[in-house]
Amino acid sequence: MHFKHAYEFEYGAEDYDGGVVEYSTDGGFNWNDAGPLFIDNGYNGTLSSAWQNPLGGRQAFVNLSNGYISSRLDLSSLAGQDVRFRFRIGTDESGDYTGWFIDDIRIYTCENATPPPSLPQDLGKTDGSPDSPCFIATAAYGSPYGNYIDLLRAFRDEYLMTHPIGKKWVALYYRYSPPMAGFIADHPKMRKGVRLIILPFVALSAGMVQTTPIQKGLIFCFIVGLLLGMALLYRGRKAEKWVSLIDPS
């Protein structure tokens, strides 16, 4: 079974809220946790048992997914049985976040043992046009939609695609990034690290796309001043080092 989902559960010092998948083989009289059946993107934490959550102490989907992700279960152990599934949320005594959104549930047979793609199949164009996706960012955030991805796409369209050198860079990106994005999507533990790497590019995009010409000028002057200050500091320390070598006293 394969399904897409996005969640935003209350968390803090502990994981207070979360969601689980359960199944029944007796018409819903008894329910079993489907956690052991997950083979891709299963539960990612343990619910706190200190705040009257009915699912407290159980493994569950907790915290934030940062967009839609895909999860997959191996149902071969249930073959030949009538099975019901349910998606169950457990919350504590107070407070809540957005919740759990589930879509595109499907049960299928792997004839050639080929897993479903981790990236959206409707990726559209790959030529840098406005409809083209941001492969690596999509894999890192688990969705082709979101504020960060919109900023990156706007920076590409407004600045890179309006300059010959920028167009060449975009062409190289769309040539080599899909395999990298596929690798990231297939290894969820890498996503947080990739998001940290992308963050400076998101900040640059925001500074260029969401500012006025005057604000851009101020940002440019600040960066130039910072670089000059670092260069002067480095030069001063280097001069002090040479002086100490020439005159040890």
Average pLDDT over residues 190-194: 82
**Beta strands 84-90; 32-33: pairing state:** unpaired
| d(C-alpha 205, C-alpha 212), whole Å | 13
Residues in the chain: 249
Residue 243's pLDDT is 56
pLDDT digits (tens, 9 = 90+) for 201-234: 777 777 777 777 777 677 667 677 777 877 777 7
Better-predicted residue by pLDDT, 219 or 162: 162
Helix (H, G, I), strand (E, B) or coil at 207: helix
Residue 152's pLDDT is 77
Neighbouring C-beta atoms of residue 205, cutoff 10 Å:
22
Average pLDDT over residues 24-39: 94
**What DSSP letter does each residue of 66-84 carry, written as one string?**
SS-EEEEE--GGGTTS--E
Are the beta carbons of 51 and 93 closer than 8 angstroms?
yes
Tell me, rounded to whole angstroms, the distance of Cα 158 from its chain centroid: 24
Residue 214's pLDDT is 76
What is the spatial order of strands in the sheet that 18-24 belongs to? 32-33, 18-24, 84-90
Are the beta carbons of 171 and 96 closer than 8 angstroms?
no
The count of C-alpha atoms lying within 13 angstroms of the C-alpha of 224, restricted to the half-sphere facing its C-beta, is: 6
Here the tokens at position 48 are 């706190």
Better-predicted residue by pLDDT, 226 or 118: 226
